[in-house]
A and B are shown apart, each in its own frame.
Chain A
């Protein structure tokens, strides 16, 4: 497709389980962002990938969160031992610039 895609669109999990969220950026985009958006809140920065540089992980809220980007394309955000406060919409964005240009539709995560 022409845009940023994310999967799954919705995910319901039980507290303590691990989840993986996927982001397919626009082809050729070197920059990739992950954000978290809680109900009624702005976007919380999680992690930023730029080309082959070391990712900026400064926004990851705990060591339960990790992300990787394979081959400079697809990215996976993993949350281990999920907690109820992890419930949110997780947004991915890609760009040919350094700032986020195109956002995906998000993955809505609900931890029961």
Chain B
């Protein structure tokens, strides 16, 4: 069985500073990894996904994540935070097939961006 840990329940950054949201996973097999974002009162949106191609994955809105097998991590980063980035972020781990119960969400990290 796979699991995912998001080390910080809440991260606060100033506008214009870098963002780092941490995610570690546990999986018996080569995983697929995803990040989703949930803005207040809006549906979840896929930010990016890793499915065994390039280890550095670029997503929407300037976010990127790097798959590090040796560290079992898939941290989400952005060079410069914007006020509109304030939201809840979910890391997801999945083993093949990436469907159904194999798709496991982490508990989420709430990102606050201060002016």
Contact partners of B106 in chain A: CB under 8 A: 42
> What is the size, in residues, of chain A's interface with B at 8 Å between Cβ atoms?
26
B94 interface hit (Cβ, 8 Å): yes
Would B107 and A91 count as touching, CB distance under 8 A? no
Q: Which of B14-22, B39-47, B57-65 contacts A (4 or more CB under 8 A)?
A: B39-47
Would B43 and A56 count as touching, CB distance under 8 A? no
Would A4 and B43 count as touching, CB distance under 8 A? yes
Contact partners of A56 in chain B: CB under 8 A: 99-101
Which one, A59, A91, A99, contacts B101 given CB within 8 A? A59
B55 interface hit (Cβ, 8 Å): no
Contact partners of B105 in chain A: CB under 8 A: 35, 42-43, 45
Give, as a whole number of angstroms, the nearest-CB distance from B45 to chain A: 7
Number of interchain pairs (Cβ within 8 Å): 57
B50 interface hit (Cβ, 8 Å): no
Give, as a whole number of angstroms, the nearest-CB distance from B110 to chain A: 9
A104 interface hit (Cβ, 8 Å): yes
30 A-B residue pairings within 8 Å (CB atoms): A4-B43, A31-B99, A35-B105, A42-B105, A42-B106, A42-B107, A42-B108, A43-B44, A43-B90, A45-B103, A45-B104, A48-B100, A48-B101, A50-B99, A50-B100, A56-B100, A56-B101, A58-B101, A59-B101, A93-B44, A98-B97, A99-B32, A99-B49, A99-B99, A100-B103, A102-B43, A103-B45, A104-B43, A105-B41, A105-B42
Taking Cβ atoms with an 8 Å cutoff, the residues of B that contact A are: 32, 34, 41-46, 49, 90, 94, 97-101, 103-108
| A-B complex: 4 closest residue pairs judged by Cβ atoms | A98-B99, A56-B100, A103-B43, A48-B100
